[in-house]
A and B are shown apart, each in its own frame.
Chain A
Amino acid sequence: MRLLFSLLSGGLFGVGLMVSGMTDTVKVQGWLDVFGAWDPTLAFVMGGAILPMFLAWQFSKVTTTSVLGTSIPTPSDPALDRRLIVGSSIFGFGWALAGLCPGPAIASLSFGGLGGLSFMIAMLVGMYVQPSIRHFGLGARGIA
């Protein structure tokens, strides 16, 4: 059952990304291009996505056990650190450069052609090497 609902969540996530326009790199770059021809579409995507999740977090305060019996995580909110700030900056640069972030890269793998596949492989390599970065405490895993 856990696997079935993981598959369903992934499927709904993927189709949502496809419908919303997040897999269109021009639209994503248009959203990030705040100093150019700004395209506000993605504000509706973010707003639409945050609403159900806000309700889910509220619900999780009432019921602390998930439908399949495991406890619902209650993430702490640790202090801001260098990893969060530097990592988010590097991510923002890459996201703007190609117009793809991890979710849409996964969702568009079947129709993104060689370009989408190349981005995906490079992204996986980046994920693999990140923990071994030895400088300025920016490697390894922090909170999961």
Chain B
Amino acid sequence: MIPTDWIYGLIGGLMIGAAAAMFLLVNGRIMGASGILGGLIDGSGKANTKERLAFVAGAIGVPAIVYLAIGAPATNISNNMIVLILAGLAVGIGTRMANGCTSGHGVCGISRFSVRGIVATLIYLLAGGVTLLVLRQWLGLI
């Protein structure tokens, strides 16, 4: 690990937390990426569609402006379509089934000591660790 990585991690993390805090205290809403997006997709968020769209527009648009202005860090996204589609389906189904992802359960849940948030986070970290153990360490597939 390059020593500066954790400084960027910390600064970026504080920005993520500040965004979540603003959304809670200004708009009175919980910032969960899968919840905001999922509500638009399956129709469960009809009551505040515009607010959801504005959030997603900001989350796509502002990084796009930064990217065009000064460039973006490497994403190193896989070029294996089977991996991408399988992973995308799993993330979509799993986060909606569990009612939250890294931002909702991880950031907003753990910070209020929610048992569900803490348990969800431990489970998806464990599931992720096991996935890499099997597919990377043992089988060398990803």
Q: In the complex, what residues of A have CB within 8 A of residue B42's CB?
A: 127-128, 130-131, 141
CA distance A50 to B88 in the complex (A): 26
Q: In the complex, what residues of B have CB within 8 A of residue A2's CB?
A: 27, 50-51, 54
From B28, B133, B135, residue with most partner A Cβ within 10 Å: B28
Q: In the complex, what residues of A have CB within 8 A of residue B44's CB?
A: 131, 141, 144
- Map CB proximity to B onto A2-28 as digits: 1 under 8 Å, 0 otherwise: 111111111111111111111111110
Contact between A15 and B63, CB atoms less than 8 A apart: yes
| Closest chain A CB from B3 CB (angstroms) | 11
- Map CB proximity to A onto B14-47 as digits: 1 under 8 Å, 0 otherwise: 1111111111111111110111011001101000
- Map CB proximity to A onto B108-132 as digits: 1 under 8 Å, 0 otherwise: 1011101110011101111111011
Contact between A51 and B17, CB atoms less than 8 A apart: yes
Task: Give the nearest-CB partner of A64 in chain B.
Answer: B28
Q: Given A24-B75, A66-B26 in contact, is the A32-B107 Cβ separation under 8 Å?
A: no
CA distance A141 to B43 in the complex (A): 11
Contact between A75 and B84, CB atoms less than 8 A apart: no
CA distance A37 to B20 in the complex (A): 31
Q: In the complex, what residues of B have CB within 8 A of residue A68's CB?
A: 26-28
Q: In the complex, what residues of B have CB within 8 A of residue A20's CB?
A: 8-9, 11-13, 15-16
Contact between A103 and B78, CB atoms less than 8 A apart: no
Contact between B119 and A80, CB atoms less than 8 A apart: yes
| Closest chain A CB from B55 CB (angstroms) | 4
Contact between A33 and B129, CB atoms less than 8 A apart: yes
Q: Given A15-B63, A72-B24, A107-B63 in contact, is the A88-B94 Cβ separation under 8 Å?
A: yes
**Which residue from B14, B17, B90 sits with its C-beta under 8 Å from A126?**
B90
| Closest chain B CB from A140 CB (angstroms) | 10
Contact between A9 and B88, CB atoms less than 8 A apart: no
Q: In the complex, what residues of B have CB within 8 A of residue A39's CB?
A: 1, 5
Contact between A107 and B97, CB atoms less than 8 A apart: no
Lowest 5 CB-CB distances: which A-B pairs, in order? A126-B92, A20-B12, A48-B13, A122-B88, A92-B127
Q: Which residues of A contact B (CB under 8 A)?
A: 2-27, 29, 32-36, 39-57, 59-60, 63, 65-68, 70-73, 75, 77-78, 80, 83-103, 105-113, 115-116, 118-131, 133, 138-139, 141-144
26 contacts between A and B (CB under 8 A): A3-B54, A9-B55, A10-B57, A13-B55, A14-B63, A15-B66, A17-B63, A26-B74, A48-B9, A50-B111, A51-B14, A53-B108, A66-B24, A66-B25, A91-B101, A92-B123, A96-B132, A98-B78, A102-B91, A110-B63, A123-B91, A123-B92, A125-B92, A127-B95, A128-B41, A130-B93
